[in-house]
């Protein structure tokens, strides 16, 4: 019984994921209002490390790597790894074992965490090389 | 000591291989882990939820995603040190912060949907 509920939950999550990807392909978060704004940006006025990630994925789904990079380079860099990790988790739930994954030493995970935070700070700085990291700025080069 | 699976050279006190994550203590049971004295069964892994922690940080809500990543790092750090109980504790915390992130993210989406509906309804009202 429990197993069946888990299967339903998994199927629902996969379906929600597919719907989300399709909506991101059809609607551009930059122009349509159906995606909520980033709460951090809304409340504080600052860009968070994830600001522009939905717009970046929308551009990627249309094959525009350059526009995606301008929206959020961090997302473009991380997305292949995240996709692999998600696929591994989904396969683990479906067939009991995931994809091969290297063991990451803690220091690398901490470095990644620091990189995400520094990226978030840098894109808010009104100084020349850093402000290019704010969503969309590189489109106007 | 050299890993029996991939051959990488590890510190003699290492509980698991830094290269492939194989449990080194179980291969040489004569040297139990210093931290806990527990010998990890071979192939022991503890879920660190790193992928979900990063997803939470980048797509949901920054403040709750960061502790999830910190705990994910702690899971692997404790595994490296042979502290299985500590790693499982950190794993629980990482999962909790991922769920908090997810909850906050879904809350924001629900609130936004509600605001849009209110906006649409008041728009209809004004047009009448």
* A113 in B contact zone (CB under 8 Å): yes
pLDDT of B127 > 90? The answer is no
Task: Using CB atoms, pick whichever of B16, B61, B116 lies closest to residue A39.
Answer: B61
Residue of B nearest to A84 (CA): B51
* A29 in B contact zone (CB under 8 Å): no
pTM for this entry:
0.74
In tens digits, chain A (141 residues) has pLDDT values of: 456 788 888 889 899 999 999 999 999 888 887 888 888 888 888 998 989 999 999 999 999 999 999 999 999 999 999 999 999 988 888 888 888 888 888 899 999 999 999 999 999 998 888 888 988 888 887
CB B75 within 8 A of CB B97: no
What are the extents of the domains in chain A? Answer: 2-140
In chain A, what residues touch B63 (CB-CB under 8 Å)? 40
Residue of A nearest to B46 (CA): A103
Binning chain A into helix, strand and coil, the percentages to the nearest 5 are 65, 0, 35
Distance (Å, whole) CA A110 – CA B105: 24
In order of A6, A69, A95, A105, the CA distances from A99 in angstroms are: 21, 28, 11, 18
- ipTM exceeding cut-off 0.95 for this assembly: no
């Amino acid at each position: 019984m429990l197993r069946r509920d888990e299967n339903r939950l998994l199927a629902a999550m996969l379906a929600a994921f597919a719907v989300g990807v399709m909506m991101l392909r059809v609607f551009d978060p930059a122009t349509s209002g159906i995606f909520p704004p980033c709460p951090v940006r809304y409340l504080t006025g600052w860009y968070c490390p994830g600001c522009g990630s939905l717009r970046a994925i929308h551009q990627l789904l249309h094959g525009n790597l350059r526009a995606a990079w301008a929206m959020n380079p961090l997302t473009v860099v991380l997305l292949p790894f995240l996709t692999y990790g998600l696929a591994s988790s989904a396969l683990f739930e479906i067939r009991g074992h995931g994809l091969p994954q290297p063991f990451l030493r803690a220091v690398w995970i901490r470095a990644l965490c620091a990189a995400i935070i520094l990226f978030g700070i840098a894109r808010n700085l009104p100084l020349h090389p850093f402000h290019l990291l704010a969503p969309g700025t590189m489109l106007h080069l | 000591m050299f890993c029996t699976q991939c051959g990488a050279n590890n510190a003699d006190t290492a509980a698991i291989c830094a290269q492939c994550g194989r449990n080194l203590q179980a291969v040489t049971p004569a040297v139990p882990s210093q931290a806990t004295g527990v010998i990890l069964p071979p192939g022991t892994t503890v879920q660190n939820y790193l992928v979900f922690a990063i997803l939470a940080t980048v797509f949901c809500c920054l403040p709750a995603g960061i502790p999830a990543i910190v705990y994910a790092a702690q899971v692997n750090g404790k595994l490296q040190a042979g502290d299985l109980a500590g790693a499982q504790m950190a794993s629980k915390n990482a999962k909790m912060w991922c769920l908090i992130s997810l909850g906050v993210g879904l809350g924001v989406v629900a609130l936004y949907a509600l605001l849009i509906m209110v906006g649409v309804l008041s728009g209809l009202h004004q047009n009448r």
